[in-house]
């Protein structure tokens, strides 16, 4: 029997209690207002209590509830500051930790998947988990060849729990919607559900991680641990120390923030170009800053973990993204609109004004218009408010645009990464990374085509 709360009735009861609890707290807040306490003080206390309840339940359940919480956490910078403050601490907890599964359960999984003599594979194995995630937890150990390793053990019943949670969360997605202005929660949950079977398959994760580890071997900027051993429900990789990105967000120096932001942008755009894979889970718990960058021990590299969710892009990111971004920056409204129609961003039944589409897009791509851009929570909030206000032209136009399924994950990963950059408050030379790695962003030199023809 699993120690993960997996029975649908138990998990559903916990999740179903959330809207009731939130409503109860609203009533409590109203009572406090009646006896004369200020709206601002009551509001903040109410938000804090709601956040504590929401993320306590998500963390306890692990599974899809925690996965949803992690996905939501990177959008925290879009919230108004008076709301974001109380949420921030609760969200950060989700990025790094969750209640551990008992030692006996861990040992049972290891014995079932690695054999009765599993202890002999390790010189050392720490029973206390070093980290916990949505579908598994990580233990530190020393492999039999002396390498320090991370041993990821999947929670028994994780698949059932994941789907049960996400189904339940989708039922009251309208209640959760106000957490992130301008974001439709339902498609996010649907997309997470689509990825469940893939994320549960540690074989696929091992392949994706090893592909990155090999490509980034000896890279001066990015470190990906090698895969050591893999079986169903157990994945052993090289251990990686470093400062978790969540700590850089809360306590890092500006130099660390800027370096982390630059490397995060570089990995987002260079990964698909170099491996044909997009790392699709960019919450801060999956990144580390490690010393020993190109400038020596005082410089930093980016360590990347958890390849359970990836988007397979054999040709890299679609050239349409780079082309439409370049043409928007160049003010080519008609050409941009035509490209968006061809790719399905504008449905055939809808006709929009190309200049209005341009006005909608330009503020979003502001970071690509300049040599370097400082990402801030204030900028993120202004973008969220612009597309979330029903009185805004951007809101009306955004409702008429369509997101083709093939772009859904790319869109979420890009938004999530921008959310993390805003949490970091990093100054990033984004245009430099786009020019280097994004297909279509730099127009092709006609001479290149002539050379290719001549060679043929």
* pLDDT single digits (tens) 234-257: 999 999 999 999 899 999 999 999
Q: pLDDT tens, 291-314?
A: 988 888 889 999 999 998 899 999
Question: 260 vs 3, which has greater pLDDT?
Answer: 260
Q: Is the model more confident about 441 or about 395?
A: 441
Tell me what the mean pLDDT of segment 403-422 comes to.
88
Q: Which residues contact 168 (CB under 8 A, 6 or more apart)?
A: 11, 12, 15, 16
Task: Let me know: does 162 contact 2? Beta carbons within 8 Å.
Answer: no
Rg (CA), the chain: 23
Of 83-92, 139-148, 269-278, 422-431, the range with the lowest mean pLDDT is 83-92
Query: Regarding predicted confidence, which is higher, 322 or 155?
Result: 322
Question: 428 - beta bridge partners?
Answer: 373
Percent of the chain with pLDDT over 90: 49
Q: Are 132 and 63 in contact (CB under 8 A)?
A: no
Q: How far apart are CA 181 and CA 454, in angstroms?
A: 54
> pLDDT value at position 402?
85
**Does residue 221 contact residue 293 with C-beta atoms inside 8 Å?**
yes
Round to whole Å and give the CA distance between 168 and 12.
7
| pLDDT exceeds 90 at position 73 | no
Q: What is the pLDDT of residue 259?
A: 97
Read off the pLDDT of each residue in 83-96 and give the average, rounded to a whole number: 56
**What pLDDT score does 53 carry?**
61
What integer is the mean pLDDT of 57-66? Answer: 57
Does the pLDDT at position 26 exceed 60?
no
Residues noted as catalytic:
281
Residue-wise pLDDT tens digits, 131-165: 876 678 899 999 999 999 999 999 887 777 777 77
């Amino acid at each position: 029997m699993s120690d993960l709360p997996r029975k649908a009735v138990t998990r559903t009861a916990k999740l179903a209690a959330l809207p009731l609890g939130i409503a109860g707290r609203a009533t409590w807040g109203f009572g406090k207002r009646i006896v004369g306490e200020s709206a601002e003080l009551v509001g903040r206390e109410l938000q804090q209590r709601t956040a504590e309840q929401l993320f306590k339940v998500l963390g306890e359940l692990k599974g899809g509830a925690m996965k949803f919480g992690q996905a939501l956490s990177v959008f925290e910078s879009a919230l108004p500051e008076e709301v974001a403050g109380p949420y921030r601490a609760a969200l950060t907890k989700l990025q790094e930790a969750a209640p551990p599964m008992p030692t006996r359960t861990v040992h049972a999984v290891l014995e079932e998947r690695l054999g009765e003599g599993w202890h002999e594979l390790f010189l050392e194995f720490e029973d206390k988990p070093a980290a916990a995630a949505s579908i598994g937890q990580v233990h530190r150990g020393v492999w039999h060849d002396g390498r320090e390793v991370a041993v990821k053990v999947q929670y028994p019943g994780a698949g059932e729990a994941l789907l049960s949670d996400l189904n339940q969360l989708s039922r009251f997605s309208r209640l959760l919607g106000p957490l992130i202005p301008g974001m439709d929660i339902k498609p996010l949950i649907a997309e997470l559900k689509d990825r469940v079977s893939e994320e549960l398959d540690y074989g696929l994760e091992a392949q994706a991680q090893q592909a990155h580890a090999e490509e980034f071997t000896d890279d001066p900027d990015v470190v990906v641990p090698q895969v050591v051993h893999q079986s169903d429900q157990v994945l052993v990789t090289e251990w990686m120390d470093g400062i978790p990105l969540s700590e850089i967000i809360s306590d890092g120096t500006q130099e660390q923030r800027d370096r982390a932001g630059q490397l995060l942008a570089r990995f987002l755009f260079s990964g698909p170009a170099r491996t044909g894979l997009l790392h699709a889970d960019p919450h801060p718990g999956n990144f580390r800053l490690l010393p020993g960058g190109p400038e020596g021990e005082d410089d930093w590299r980016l360590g990347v973990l958890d390849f359970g969710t990836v988007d397979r892009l054999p040709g890299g990111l679609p050239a349409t993204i780079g082309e439409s971004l370049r043409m928007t920056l160049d003010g080519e409204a008609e050409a941009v609109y035509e490209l968006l129609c061809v790719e399905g961003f504008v449905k055939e039944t809808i006709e929009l004004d190309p200049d209005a589409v341009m006005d909608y897009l330009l503020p979003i791509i502001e970071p690509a218009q300049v040599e370097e851009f400082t990402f801030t929570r204030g900028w993120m909030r202004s973008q969220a408010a612009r597309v979330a206000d029903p009185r805004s032209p951007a809101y009306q136009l955004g409702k008429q645009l369509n997101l083709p399924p093939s772009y859904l994950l790319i869109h979420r990963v890009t938004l999530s990464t921008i959310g993390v950059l805003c949490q970091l408050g990093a100054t990033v030379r984004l245009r430099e990374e786009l020019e280097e790695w994004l297909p279509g962003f730099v127009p092709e030199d006609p001479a290149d085509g002539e050379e290719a023809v001549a060679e043929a």
